[in-house]
Amino acid sequence: MKKRIIVLIVLLVIVSLFSIGRTFSKYINTTKWDYSYNSKDFYFTSDYLSEEEKNLYFNSWDGSDIKFNISNALNKDTYTKENITYEVSCLSNETTCLINGKSIITLTLKGNVYSNEELKLSLGEFQDNANVTVIAKSIKPYKKTLQATFDVIRETKVNDIDYKLKTYDYVSKLLINNNSDTNKCINVKILKDNIRVSKSDDMKNIKTNSNDVINSFEIVLNSSEDKIIELYGNGISDEDVIVQLCD
């Protein structure tokens, strides 16, 4: 009789444990499914930062703040329902950096409406160039990290002639300013054969290489005049272009 009672108790325990296990497993699966379902509608985006490792190039930086944004949306019609709390920080070995005047800042994007926050990256003094990494981390309702490394090169000045090279995907724009009170003849040299120059009527003394590609030309800028020259090619940098006064 006692053996039958013991067996019955053991069976009841096994059934209870099996039932509890199924319930707990169902709870875990439901929780995971709910998290997966909700996180599909979670948008934490930026115009410059991304989830993947990303490098951005700011050639001929003039010392002004670099602006970027953080948003809760995929587009203006698709946004996160909950408020998003996040923090943004920056770090560099070559210079000091601040986000909106602070080394680290915590902000909140309002949910259930399109939210877009513009932030400012400020840099301290450095010699020629500096690498600055900016990291944005969402804290709640879900965790996500966006980041980018800004490769910043100082603006170059040649005898009252300022020039900046801004690089995009397949085209770069060389902006030359004559800040002097006299007209200046400026010589531009292209050091790479795979770079193409958008030719204009005011280019003089044009020289080409063996492939008939322009690699040198001159332009004359009046006092306080500026000129934009478009260069076509991948990965164009300041090292590929020389701007100097005519001989």
What residue segments make up the domains of the chain, in order of their start? Answer: 45-153, 155-245
- pLDDT value at position 12? 56
Closest CA to 175 of 115, 224, 227: 227
- For the stretch 202-227, pLDDT in tens is 999 999 988 888 999 999 999 889 89
Distance CA 172, CA 210 (A): 23
**In the chain, which ranges are continuous DSSP H helix?**
2-39
- pLDDT value at position 186? 92
- pLDDT value at position 238? 80
Low-confidence ranges of the chain (pLDDT < 50): 7, 15, 24-37
Closest CA to 109 of 135, 164, 70: 70
Q: Are 116 and 43 in contact (CB under 8 A)?
A: no
Instruction: Give the predicted TM-score (pTM) of the model.
Output: 0.56
Q: What are phi and psi for residue 151, nearest 5 degrees?
A: -95, 105
Provide the terminal-to-terminal Cα distance of the chain, rounded to the nearest Å: 115
Q: Does domain 155-245 have CATH number 2.30.30?
A: no
- Structure-token pair, residue 215: 């690699």
Say whether 155-245 and 45-153 share the same fold: yes
- pLDDT value at position 41? 84
The mean pLDDT value of the chain amounts to 84
Side chain identity at residue 109, one-letter code: L
- pLDDT value at position 5? 59
Q: Which long-range contacts (CB under 8 A, 24 or more apart) does 45-49 make?
A: 45/70, 45/71, 45/72, 45/73, 45/74, 45/146, 46/70, 46/71, 46/136, 46/146, 46/148, 48/134, 48/148, 49/134, 49/135, 49/136, 49/146, 49/147, 49/148
- pLDDT value at position 90? 97
Q: Does domain 45-153 have CATH number 2.60.40.2310?
A: yes
Q: Are 173 and 80 in contact (CB under 8 A)?
A: no
Q: Are 197 and 223 in contact (CB under 8 A)?
A: no
